[in-house]
Each structure stands twice: as C-alpha cells, then as structure tokens.
Structure 1
Amino acid sequence: MGSVNGPLARALRSAGLDAIDAAARLGVDPKTVQRWMTGRMPYPRRRDALARLTGWASHDLWPDLPPAKQPARIADEVLIIYPHRSAVPTDTWARLVSSAKREIDVLAYSALFLAEDASIPHILRQKARTGVRVRIALGQPDGQNVVRRGNEEGIGDGMSARIRTALVGFRPLIDEPGAWIRFHDTVLYNSIFRADEELLVNTHVYGRPGAHAPVLHLKALRMDGIVASYLDSFERVWSAARAAPSVPD
C-alpha cells in the first residue's frame, strides 16, 4: 500500500476534504477513496470527478497518465503567409500551375497579373490540352460588385477595364477544350488560385488592391480543413457564374 501523501491526497487536503467527504461527494465507499489516495488509479469518469472536486488538473493528480491525444492541427495546412501579394516570388505562380495534374481553378476579379505574364496563359493552355481541368472565374465587368470594388479601391471604372484587359490575355483559353472562363458577380472576400491540393489565397482588404493584401500558401491535409472551405467557396461561385463572351481578335 502506498503512502497517503500522493498528489491526490494533497489535493484533497488543500480543498479541505478527507476520504469520507470525498466519498460522500462522489457516491463511493470511503475505503475506495483511501485506495485512490494511496496510489490506485480511478476509472476515467472518477478521475474527471476528482479533478473537478479538487480543482487540480488530471495530470497533476496522476503524473503517470499518458499524454492527452492532441487534435489534428489544421494550421499545418498553412505552408507560408506572405505579407502582401507582391511579396510572393514571381515564379511561384508559374510553378503552382505547372505542378497541377488534375485541376486548376482561379477565382478573382481580374487576375490581370496572371494574364499579363506571358508564361501563364501558355501553361494553362498546355495543361488543358493534357487533360487538366482549367476553370477561371473573373468578375463581371459591369457587375454591381465589380463597380463597388472599383470605387472602394479608388479606381472607379478601372476595375472593369482590368477585367476586360485580362480577358484579352486569357484569349488562348476561350475556345480550348478542357478550359472554361466564366464571369461572376459576387462579393469577393478572397481571390483563390488552386492547383490540385495547393492553394494561394489572396485575402482582400477594404480599400486596398489585392497586390497589397496578404497571401496564404496552403496545402490540403484533411477533408474538412482550411483548403476544403476555400474550395467549397469556389464551387459556389462557379455554379452561379456565366460563360464569358469570346474576345474578338
């Protein structure tokens, strides 16, 4: 039999309780409490009750308990956070779309910085031709939310003009089987750039252009994690978007 001077015994004394008091509170025999006080391990529900009764943590009362199982850390999906989009290395975007084996999704208002990169439309076209599904959702140039965003950024009709310019840059994809471009008119909380399980998410900050807002580089590790939330958002916007018109040469 162990000494009645273990952590549980000390915890009960510090709470002003003896074996009889604790037994009455827990509805057990005082001899059972005495056995716990001299080292016998209570069942889990009794351990929880004793922890509440004494105010001590379970691992302080029973130091030999195995460590509590930690929940999956969803934050492990975050590979890196850039302070603003212009801080993302310029080759990151090309490497992202080049890595895709199954699907590429873009959700933005204009994504002009991609359309003006000579390599990006070419890579997207080649990916579509090799069986990768390419979907690009741009803001509807005359949509109410595009107009509002332009006003918020202080560029007025400049946002609509950027979208039309981007559409010219993405012209090679307009009639490419396996690639689709649609217009959406939603309040865009984030721009999303997806290649299979990896995402670059450009957050939006009121009154500031996307290039000046943070970017999260994410990689999916679980079915219900951060990436899943953004992909669900993309699908909702995509399902309500309409096909973009062809761009004349």
Structure 2
Amino acid sequence: MGEDVHALWPALQQSRTARAVSPELVALYDQRADVSASMFVNLLTPARDRIDILVYAAVFLHEAYPRLNDLLTERAEAGCAIRIAVGDADSANVQQRGREKNSGTGRILLQRRADSGLWALPGGGMEMTDSLPGCAVREVKEETGLDIETTGLVGTYTDPRHVIAYSDGEVRRQFNVCFLARVTGGDLAISDESTELRFVSPAELGSLDMHHTQRLRLTHYLEGRRTPYLG
C-alpha cells in the first residue's frame, strides 16, 4: 500500500501487546518466521466454523507442513467453511515477494557427495564453538554458499548401527539432527565436498540415489509430522 505499518496501525507504536491493538487479537508477531508450523497446525486443526487464509502464495505453509491440503480437506468435510485468497502468481507484486523471501519453489536443496556419489542433505560435523542450529547454518554456508535460517526440527537420528567407514580408514558412528530451514541469502556455490547442487521437488526424490538414512529424514519431513521424530 506504500504506507508505513505504523501509519496504518498507530497502536503498534504504543504497545506490542496484542490486546492493546484489538481485543480480538491473541498475539502479534513481527515476522512470519517467528510463528512455528506447529502453531499454524494447532490453530487450523480444531476449527469448526470457518478458516480464512489471506496470503501472497502460502508456499511456506506447504513447505513447513506438507499435509496442509489434507488438513483443510478434513476440516471442509467436517463442515468448516474454507476461504483462501492468494495473489496472482504472474503479478509483479507476488513475483517481487518471492524474490524478497526466496520462497515459492517448494523444493529441497540436495548435494551429490564427492566421496560417495550419493545425494544427501547439506550437513557436517560440529565444531567446539557451534550450537546445533549454528552448526547447520555454518555447514550449509560452507557446502552450498547459501545463508539459511533454521525454522524447525525434523528429528534426531541416533541409530547405533549407523557406522560409516571412509576410504581413508576412518570409522565413525554417526548421528544426525535434521533441521528445517529457509534460505535468506547467498549464492549457490559447489564446495570440494560435492559435485552437484540441486533444488529438487518431492516427486523427484524417488529417482535419486541416496543412503537410506537420508531418505528416512526426507520421508519424515514430507509426512508433515506434528512433532519431531526422536530416534
């Protein structure tokens, strides 16, 4: 609209409490990324009367919760009215929004490993100064050139039978913490750990050669679990 948000809603300057703006608001969030996918699911699941969704594209909801269409169908079959208003995908505003948010692809970033030739999610070992999310951010940057923001947790994978023997003689028992994330910047750049980087659609995953542990993590993501997998 070409107006500053505080010009449209002056109450936002006075207080960040939702009730100060409107008694109908439960909470306010500065950024969409501040709202977890589980919160959207928890809001939509118990709906009985009506669900209204007004968005540019809502791709982020499908990426964070792939069962969104199924959930909306279930609510509609239960008698809940569903209204969804989205922007025209060909309009300049929606295309600009996609560029700004680096969203709208609905695809998953994979790398073809240089050491095995298999496709895998970007990732690597922690350093002493890393937090778990910080490790994910650093490794993705090193291996793909992209800046990311972690937005959720797919699961933990600690099967004691997952032992890897490398060609240089190293043998290790490996565990994985798999995060959801969105791209915030950077440019794709292949590192010496991979031979190819590619954003792939879920439909393409079955044709790619990858370790069964990688496929398990992707399956759990695509299932749109309400809680992270713990294993």
Query: Is the shorter-chain TM-score for this pair beyond 0.5, marking a shared fold?
Result: no
More strand by share: 2
User: What TM-score do the two structures reach when normalised by structure 2?
Assistant: 0.33
TM-score by length of 1: 0.30
The structure whose Rg is larger is 1
